[in-house]
């Protein structure tokens, strides 16, 4: 996980996670249950903790460490449950490292698992893959009090929807949750009201996927006087009325995937609904309504050559993206991209530690792995030079202060990241596949 350190203080460059705090809230108050939640990205795991049951939520990039932790606690005689996106995609692998696994979502299966454990009848596999009713009957206010909230760039996150109707080839969302579900707006508002702070973030992957629902939600948010940020696809931001409503409901930033400055590349990754010739007009529209733009770009698509890095950095500056983010095209297991590159014998590493979008784990089409990694580093360093930061943050207003803070934080992160041993090489373990 991306994080920065100030002395002994560690802060994650993301919003506070929702998974474990939601699972804790799903269990009714029980004097026989004591919860201790640990986020390894901001604090060390207490290896000697006297737990009766350990549950670990696993991302692909954290799988190796999760399996190591599981082995440690199981060697101590403590049963371990593994769940999360990687477990759902790779259940056979995960089952070798746990006493029980949970695949799919867990709103219903987690309470069942806890009851079974209390009764001494823990099963080896719990699955929840029914998408027909989504959030129905399981909306809860997460136990945010169980997290160290000051350790996150945004301390409160909220979920209103699940899934995405898009099928971008590198995204794992559809591999885990093919449908699109909406939490009742009244439940979302109750959750937001429970947050004492004025600012929160929606962690939905595409908050505007259903325009009718989004309008209802934003209208209900307006009287609360909160400020929020969230994710949306570019095409959903073409609607001036929708963007205006977002701003009036308290939206202060949007994170969106531009992905490429090459229209051919967008077509190749099943994201042709992005139009490069619309990028600037969409950024300008958001800015007119006081909404900052955090823009994501991916390097290493089959249409990318060595010119893509400089072209992207200049483009990002020219259209006025406030906080740019770059990543390396990464074939996560379960995605169409992984399946295609595996068939083409282009996967270089199955070391899950490398699956963080900041290592090269495949053989690019028009670049060498070394060229891709070198260009990626150069683009980040150039983008977060003081000269470019000041140009991005030169307009007046409160948003510029926030953008400056965000840019300087990323500059610090990038500087430390690429000077660390973990990123000396493009791929920490190159594993040629037969």
pTM of full prediction above 0.75: yes
- Measured in residues, the chain has a length of 434
Q: Is the pLDDT of residue 129 over 80?
A: no
Res. 68 pLDDT band, cuts 50 70 90: very high
Neighbours of 56 (CB within 10 A): 25
Q: Which domains does the chain have, with CATH numbers?
A: 3-128 (3.40.50.280), 156-423 (3.20.20.70)
Query: Tens digit of pLDDT for each residue in 326-349?
Result: 999 999 999 999 999 999 999 999
Q: What is the 3-state secondary structure (H, E, C) of 147-203?
A: CCHHHEEECCEECCEECCCCCCCCCCHHHHCCCCEECCHHHHHHHHHCCCCCEEEEC
How far apart CA 264 and CA 268 sit, in angstroms, is: 6
Write down the pLDDT at residue 222: 98
Neighbouring C-alpha atoms within 13 Å toward the C-beta of 413: 21
% of the chain exceeding 90 in pLDDT? 73
SS3 412: helix
Write down the pLDDT at residue 434: 35
Handedness of CA 169, 173, 177, 179 (dihedral sign): negative
How far apart CA 30 and CA 14 sit, in angstroms, is: 31
Query: Tens digit of pLDDT for each residue in 4-32?
Result: 443 443 445 567 889 999 999 998 777 78
Q: Is the pLDDT of residue 307 over 70?
A: yes
Across 98-121, average pLDDT: 94
Neighbouring C-alpha atoms within 13 Å toward the C-beta of 99: 23
Write down the pLDDT at residue 7: 41
């Amino acid at each position: 996980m991306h994080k920065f350190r100030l002395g002994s203080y560690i802060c994650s460059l993301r919003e506070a996670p929702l998974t474990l705090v939601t699972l804790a809230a799903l269990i009714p108050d029980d004097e026989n249950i004591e919860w201790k939640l640990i986020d390894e990205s901001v604090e060390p795991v207490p290896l000697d903790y006297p737990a009766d049951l350990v549950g670990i939520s696993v991302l692909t990039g954290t799988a190796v460490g999760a399996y190591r932790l599981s082995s440690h606690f199981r060697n101590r005689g403590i049963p371990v449950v593994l769940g999360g996106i990687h477990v759902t995609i790779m259940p056979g692998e995960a089952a070798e490292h746990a006493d029980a696994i949970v695949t799919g979502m867990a709103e219903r299966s987690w309470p069942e698992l806890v009851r079974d454990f209390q009764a001494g009848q823990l099963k080896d596999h719990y699955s929840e893959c029914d998408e027909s009713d989504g959030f129905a009957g399981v909306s809860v206010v997460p136990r945010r009090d169980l997290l160290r909230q000051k350790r996150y760039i945004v301390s409160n996150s909220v979920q209103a929807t699940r899934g995405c109707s898009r099928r971008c080839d590198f995204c794992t969302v559809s591999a885990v949750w093919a449908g699109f579900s909406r939490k009742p707006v009244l439940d979302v508002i109750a959750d937001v009201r429970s947050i004492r702070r004025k600012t929160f973030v929606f962690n939905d992957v595409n908050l505007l996927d259903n325009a009718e629902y989004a309008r209802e939600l934003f209208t209900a948010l307006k009287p609360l006087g909160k400020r929020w940020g969230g994710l949306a696809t570019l095409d959903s931001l073409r609607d001036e009325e929708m963007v205006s409503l977002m701003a009036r409901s308290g939206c202060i930033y949007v994170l969106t995937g531009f992905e490429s400055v090459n229209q051919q590349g967008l077509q190749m990754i099943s994201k042709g609904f992005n139009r490069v010739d619309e990028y600037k007009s969409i950024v300008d529209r958001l800015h007119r309504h006081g909404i900052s733009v955090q823009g994501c770009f991916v390097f290493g698509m089959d249409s990318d050559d060595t010119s893509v890095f400089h072209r992207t950095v200049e483009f990002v500056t020219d259209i006025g993206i406030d906080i740019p983010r770059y990543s390396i095209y990464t074939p996560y297991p379960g995605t169409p991209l992984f399946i295609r590159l595996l068939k083409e014998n282009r996967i270089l590493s199955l070391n899950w530690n490398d699956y963080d979008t900041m290592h090269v784990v495949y053989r690019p089409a028009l670049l060498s792995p070394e060229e891709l990694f070198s260009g990626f580093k150069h683009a980040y360093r150039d983008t977060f030079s003081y000269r470019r930061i000041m140009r991005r943050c030169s307009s007046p207003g409160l948003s510029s202060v926030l953008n400056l803070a965000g840019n300087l934080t990323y500059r610090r992160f990038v500087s430390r990241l690429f000077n660390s041993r973990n990123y000396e090489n493009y791929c920490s373990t190159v594993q040629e596949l037969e």
